[in-house]
Amino acid sequence: MSKLTVFVLLSLLLASGLSWGQPSPSIVADPVFYNAPLYYNHTSHITRTSTDELIVVWSSGSTGGQIVYSTYDPVFQLWSPPAPLSSAGDRADKAGIASDENGNAYVAWQQRNTSAEDYAIYFTKYDGSTWTAPMDLTGSSVENEEVSIAVSDQGRIFVAWNTDAEPDGSEFVLSIYSDDGGQTWSIPPDTLSSSDGLIGGSSTTCGRPFLARGNSGKMVSAWHESPDGPSTAEVFLNQFDGTQWTGEQAVTELTTNETRYPTVEVNSNDMIYAIYSPRYPQRSLVMKKKGWNETNWPAVADTVIEAGYVGYKPFLGIDDNDNLFLVFRRDNAADTTYGLEEVAFVASKDGGATWTDQVRLSRENYDAGYVTLAPRIRPSGVDVLWREAHTQFKDDPDTTAIVYGHIDFAVGVEDPVPVVVKKFQLQQNYPNPFNPSTIIKYAIAKEGFYELTVYNLLGEKIRTLVSEYHLSGSYGIQWNGRNDRGNSIPSGIYFYRLNGNGLNLTQKMILMR
């Protein structure tokens, strides 16, 4: 799998009047020897800070796994190697990240130091240059899991999670906040679920709070539980008015209609949007909305993604103009053999009354899922992160990749305006000689299928860096000096070749260990 960063932008005007650049996937990390580096999507795994720094987080493994992060270099258009944030004795998992308007970023996750220990919630702060030492927020007297993190427009940091592995009625959705950048916290936590606790399952079927900021210090939290058994999971929501949380509100009716995976946002007029996945129609996506001071949620939900598209596990974001952006997981309709899924995107400029056509974000025939976006949409566009399979045609794989997509806004564009490249080009790699990695840039003058491949002096193929359809434009790739099996190769002279559509360009490079 290549570390492909596409530089070309193709502006698309969609039926809704919203327009953006052609989504361009970029490989953050590959391979990742873990099938759940991004697990579920009730909290974001990606943020763009107010100083325009792009940061992503994920879990590196199960037993022994740590929370790691990577940042994006816009000059070289490359992702930094993953670096650890946690130092768990047993494992750290399920991280979320958020940022404020002062250049800071914050990460929270669950961690335990032995396999016999319950999970605690941990936290760290990034000030633009360094990360603080991880802080235990909860202790491990009970199982604390499924953390979510968000920052209010006034800089207050909220962390929410649910307890687990306790009897029905003894598990709760909890929340704390900090007004000083995470140095001190509002202990004991606020209880968001009702006094009878979460009913009907473990943290895989109940809880998973989703946080979203409002205006003037407001915050909302949405989550689900199964009060009448697993076939009756329902969505609940709490509102924080700047001073205190309300009790739980039932967003969905307490019926036999299983509803899960809520995602919420609040617009500039304090309208709350809640999108979730109902059981009937199965794996569709629907939306309800209400004003901040309204008491009841509508009885009937509006359809966002119809059942035929089999969409679920949504994640919602909103920009300063109240445009809504929704990413979600859906079936690969063309695949009838492997059970592949893909990541897609829609948007609305009218509060969800209409939505754009769906746009696939993930690469074709790579199983994809667990998608989140940076919920505070910056002027540069929408930042999206998801998990993909390491190889094509592999469903729910053990080896995965972390993939990033950026959807550039193209305000006022009336017709598609591609960047035209008139000449094919395969540039000399840089640096050269290199150790351990090098950058290769190339230009495609005619759209079509192209491959970029590395060979040794004997003409044996070492690594396929790129093998996919290209639009006309400029491209870049980083090679880490490893073969297709992920093994380091020895020092020596190697050749890289760009071919396709009758094109055959070759350059020489030197690897010095």
| pLDDT tens digits, 44-88 | 999 999 999 999 999 999 888 999 999 998 877 789 999 999 999
Distance from C-alpha of 458 to C-alpha of 406, rounded to nearest angstrom: 39
| Average pLDDT score over residue span 446-453 | 92
| Average pLDDT score over residue span 390-407 | 89
Average pLDDT over the chain reads 87
Q: What is the pTM of this model?
A: 0.78
**Amino acid 414: pLDDT:** 36
Upper half-sphere CA count for residue 473 (Cβ side, 13 Å): 16
**Amino acid 55: pLDDT:** 98
- Give pLDDT tens digits for 143-184: 999 999 999 999 999 999 999 888 777 889 999 999 999 999
Query: What would you report as the CA-atom Rg of the chain, rounded to the nearest whole angstrom?
Result: 23
Specify the CATH architecture of the domain 425-511: Sandwich (2.60)
Strand pairing category for 271-278 and 503-511 = unpaired
431 preceded by a cis bond (ω within 30 of 0): yes
Which segments of the chain belong to CATH 2.120.10.10? 34-57+94-369
Specify the CATH architecture of the domain 34-57+94-369: 6 Propeller (2.120)
305, pLDDT greater than 90: no
The helix/strand/coil state of 370 is strand
Are the C-beta atoms of 477 and 5 separated by less than 8 Å? Answer: yes
| Average pLDDT score over residue span 98-104 | 96
Are the C-beta atoms of 425 and 442 separated by less than 8 Å? Answer: yes
SS3 content of the chain, % helix, strand, coil (to 5): 0, 50, 50
**Amino acid 6: pLDDT:** 32
Q: Which residue is it, tokens 């960047």?
A: 419
Which segments of the chain belong to CATH 2.60.40.4070? 425-511
**Amino acid 261: pLDDT:** 87
**Amino acid 266: pLDDT:** 98
- Give pLDDT tens digits for 186-232: 999 999 998 887 866 666 678 899 999 999 999 999 998 877 665 67
Distance from C-alpha of 296 to C-alpha of 96, rounded to nearest angstrom: 30
| Average pLDDT score over residue span 338-352 | 91
Q: How many CB atoms within 10 Å of residue 408?
A: 16
**Amino acid 4: pLDDT:** 36
- Give pLDDT tens digits for 455-466: 999 999 999 998
